[in-house]
Homo-oligomer: A and B are copies of this chain.
């Protein structure tokens, strides 16, 4: 039973696998090889240490080399790089980065958890510019000491993914002026544009200068030159445009590599060499819903896979069922969370789908402190849940976890009204917003209401369709779609004769609920009617009304 297992990479996936392996066998020889000084650190906490939300650097070290040796009786080689895998002889070559010594280490099983590294394109001038990336503790120390000691005034962040956004927040917290440059037309790729619009709002409300649809052409001294020709004078640049898998070692050893550069594994997380397992950011996984290869460089998958691989090495037969891509990020006062597939992807793949947007409160409105939420639910014509996206100051994490669980439980949107969630006024509503999303989605599925989406409204008006805004006049006056007609919901039954017959009517309210009630009244009175999904809230946010963005 006793084995010699070598693990390359000593952080999320690798350290977890090592710990579990020891719990399965006290006798095995477990060698943990890590290029860096630190193992088992909190990658995800790094931005918050720079921002000084986390004060104590020690806290980033979830486990130390000594602590981990002691507790799990591991043979840990930090500051050691694996430089070659010799599959024929089941050996690796390792290089001690201090002494320069290169030596061999045999294995019965090899686990690769080398992670990913920040993408750094060969932008002209990049080597002479003050550019940082963030992946590990040394990167963190560099950025933090620069901020602490050089007291920079302005930072340019390239890339609006979650690390870019976390750095924007944390550097605003440190008093810097922040410009965020993003090549796409939205930050936060995993969510759809109308949901990213809330992030744009929040970033801009906190003084972050947002430059979309623009990229870096070159660095010239203290200037970042954008493709649009814009020139940003800056004291430092954070490059956070994404990561690429650390798969060179695997590739050189002839292990199969996917299109996206990730190591290919089977459902047991074995590479094409059955003695070699691979996990974490370095591998290609199956999209849980689409059943297609994808890359999801997040901590949950790495931890989960580390556990599975350890078990499989000890005779287990566990499968990794693919990754949903549940993720979450704090953006100042807001939380943005998502799970499953987004609309962009469904559209690109030509998969039929439906979507609804709703905006209930995070808990009962009569109890203080409720915050309005924005939830987008995506589902198939059969009601299967494709995914959800949620933005709110409160309660987004809870609801995304419920949806992620519902997906794993094989529930459809028709089951969401039946979820018996915990209700007391400080926590939710007697119909929680997940129930509500289920009702709204089911109504759409069943054809009990027709809806029109935020991005179809301008065209409809342009085509001469009628849009009735059923909000109260004081709400209507604060902002409305031009060309719309205001008839408050509670007057609708009495004013039916004002509504043109024989043509399609669109109705709109603040968040969708009153519009729905209006559309039921009109429909039952013989009108052909569509409700504006998500109401003025979705429409106005998606259209960036009140958000300052610079377009490249």
Q: Which of A119-127, A263-271, A397-405 contacts B (4 or more CB under 8 A)?
A: A397-405
Q: Which residues of B contact A54 (CB under 8 A)?
A: 366-368
Q: Kindly provide the distance from the CB of A288 to the nearest chain B CB, expressed in whole angstroms.
A: 8
Q: Which residues of B contact A411 (CB under 8 A)?
A: 405, 408-409
Residues of chain A at the chain B interface (Cβ within 8 Å): 12, 22-23, 25-27, 42, 44-45, 48, 53-54, 59-60, 62, 67, 70-71, 73, 162, 288, 298-304, 307, 321, 323-330, 335, 337, 339, 364-368, 397-398, 400-402, 404-406, 408-411, 415, 417-428, 430-432, 434-435, 439, 489-490, 493, 517, 520-521, 524-525
Q: Which residues of B contact A420 (CB under 8 A)?
A: 288, 300-301, 304, 323-326, 339, 404, 408
Q: A23 and B517: CB pair below 8 A? A: yes
CB closest residue in chain B, given A398: B398
Q: 4 nearest interchain CB pairs? A: A409-B409, A328-B422, A398-B398, A59-B366
Interface centre among A54, A397, A524 (most CB of B within 10 A): A397
Number of copies: 2
Q: A330 and B42: CB pair below 8 A? A: no
Once A411-B408, A524-B26 are accepted as A-B contacts, the answer to whether A328 and B70 lie under 8 Å apart by CB is no
Q: Which residues of B contact A335 (CB under 8 A)?
A: 426-427
CA–CA, A301 to B430, complex, Å? 9
Once A303-B431, A328-B427, A406-B405 are accepted as A-B contacts, the answer to whether A490 and B422 lie under 8 Å apart by CB is no
Once A26-B525, A524-B25 are accepted as A-B contacts, the answer to whether A424 and B44 lie under 8 Å apart by CB is yes
A sample of 6 more A-B contacts (CB under 8 A), given A42-B425, A330-B426, is: A70-B490, A71-B517, A301-B420, A324-B420, A327-B423, A401-B432
Interface centre among A54, A397, A420, A430 (most CB of B within 10 A): A420
Q: Kindly provide the distance from the CB of A73 to the nearest chain B CB, expressed in whole angstroms.
A: 7
CB closest residue in chain B, given A299: B430
CB closest residue in chain B, given A524: B26
CA–CA, A260 to B494, complex, Å? 47
